[in-house]
Amino acid sequence: MDNTPTSSAADRFPAGRLAFPHRDLTGIGQLERHEILYLLDQAAQWVELNRQRTKHTELLSGLTIINAFFENSTRTLLSFEIAGKRLGADVVNMHAAQSSVKKGETLIDTAITLNAMRADAIVIRHGSSGATQLIADKVDCPVLNAGDGQHEHPTQGLLDALALREALAQQGRGSRDALADFTGLTITICGDILHSRVARSNILCLQAMGASVRLCSPPALMPRGVEAMGAQPFHDFDAALDGSDVVMMLRLQSERMAGQFIPSAREYHHLYGLTRERLKRAAPDALVMHPGPMNRGVEIDSDVADMLDRSIITSQVEMGVAIRMACLDVLTRSARGVEGWS
């Protein structure tokens, strides 16, 4: 597939590497608005490829990508693996349970070991905030953050933005190929904000694109200082939903709670679960999102999650492969000697 920017894209973004000058992708916080839009535009071509019968290109042929996951994952790992293979790269998955980390090896020693294997890109998922940046500082190849502690999950924020842009285009509210942002949209993110790196990346990404972001959770699950990020906190879900154009539900991360923070799943659903009746408080055509995995009947009812005309949850999964293909493509252009990037 031709990765040469179109004339319209050339008008929208700086030329060559200036369109995306970063070696790594460790967080949305490091990106300018036009850099986010550039990655979304780059991903659009991969959306089209992934919908074809033949979903393969040799763009990254000869390159090796290591997916080093120190935390369990299904959809993120699978998505990165599919993305790398569809681009023609050799993809190696490293699971911490099978690595020397279990034998006491430090994260820095692991980084040095991975670097010695001459990978062309390393995708990192780790339970400690800042771990991906630590590894990025020790290796010679691009590093992509697949989630680090409670810090960020940048490709999730990007794929959510891409899914939302696709859905808005289908609603006739703007062309996905135009330099459109989310100005005028009110987006409510509800759930376990405190433990959610997805929430942080989405707050940064959506606000960079002009959206107004509301956050809703029980008091114990609302982190301090969200106002400093530009988001508006709520503890009343009904009030937070009032007139919202998009409702993004988050999973309760019970593995990080140790039985604290909420009285029970049933009580949580009563106050913060998204039901058809509660969704009526949002805008009439409000879109429903969830990064997954879903706890059906807790944060969201099945009949809401499966609404064909409102839910874009499966689209989020689809866009995840395209975004990760775009990120792998862009971050390896220097290594591949792409004109204007080396």
pLDDT at 100: 54
Q: Work out the average pLDDT over 51-77.
A: 94
Q: Using the predicted structure, report yes or no on whether residue 42 has a pLDDT greater than 60.
A: yes
pLDDT at 81: 98
**Bridge partners, residue 287, by sequence:** 246
Q: Which domains does the chain show, CATH number per domain?
A: 7-153+318-336 (3.40.50.1370), 182-311 (3.40.50.1370)
Q: Using the predicted structure, report yes or no on whether residue 12 has a pLDDT greater than 50.
A: yes
pLDDT at 140: 96
pLDDT at 102: 57
Full 3-state SS string of the chain:
CCCCCCHHHHHHCCCHHHHCCCCCECCHHHCCHHHHHHHHHHHHHHHHHHCCCCCCCCCCCCCEEEEEECCCCCHHHHHHHHHHHHCCCEEEEEEHHHCHHHHCCCHHHHHHHHHHCCCCEEEEEECCCCHHHHHHCCCCCCEEEEEECCCECHHHHHHHHHHHHHHHHHCCCCCCCCCCCCCCCEEEEECCCCCCHHHHHHHHHHHHCCCEEEEECCHHHCCCCHHHHCCEEECCHHHHHCCCCEEEECCCCHHHCCCCCCCCHHHHHHHHCECHHHHCCCCCCCEEECCCCCCECCCECHHHHCCCCCECHHHHHHHHHHHHHHHHHHHCHHHHCCCCCC
- Which range among 89-93, 105-109, 162-166, 317-321 shows the weakest confidence by mean pLDDT? 105-109
pLDDT at 108: 87
pLDDT digits (tens, 9 = 90+) for 129-138: 999 999 999 9
Distance from C-alpha of 32 to C-alpha of 42, rounded to nearest angstrom: 16
Give me the percent of the chain exceeding a pLDDT of 90: 75
pLDDT digits (tens, 9 = 90+) for 241-296: 999 999 999 988 655 444 555 667 888 899 999 999 999 999 999 999 999 899 99
pLDDT at 179: 46
Instruction: Give the pLDDT band (50/70/90) at residue 99.
Output: low
Distance from C-alpha of 197 to C-alpha of 166, rounded to nearest angstrom: 23
Chain center to CA of 28: 9
Which tokens in the block code for residue 13?
A: 């973004």
What lies within 8 Å, CB to CB, of 151 at 6+ separation is 27, 129, 130, 197, 200
Distance from C-alpha of 247 to C-alpha of 281, rounded to nearest angstrom: 11
Preceding amide of 293 cis, omega within 30: yes
Q: Using the predicted structure, report yes or no on whether residue 122 has a pLDDT greater than 70.
A: yes
pLDDT at 11: 66
Mean pLDDT value across the chain: 90
- Cα distances from 262 to residues 215, 239, 297, in angstroms, run 17, 20, 16
pLDDT digits (tens, 9 = 90+) for 186-228: 999 999 999 899 999 999 999 999 999 999 999 989 999 899 9
Q: Work out the average pLDDT over 92-108.
A: 71
Comparing 13 with 231, which gets the higher pLDDT?
A: 231
Instruction: Give the pLDDT band (50/70/90) at residue 146.
Output: very high
- Cα distances from 139 to residues 91, 117, 300, 339, in angstroms, run 18, 10, 41, 24
Instruction: Give the pLDDT band (50/70/90) at residue 164.
Output: very high
Instruction: Give the pLDDT band (50/70/90) at residue 7.
Output: very low
Instruction: Give the pLDDT band (50/70/90) at residue 171.
Output: confident
Asked if residue 26 lies in contact with residue 132, where contact means CB atoms within 8 angstroms, the answer is yes
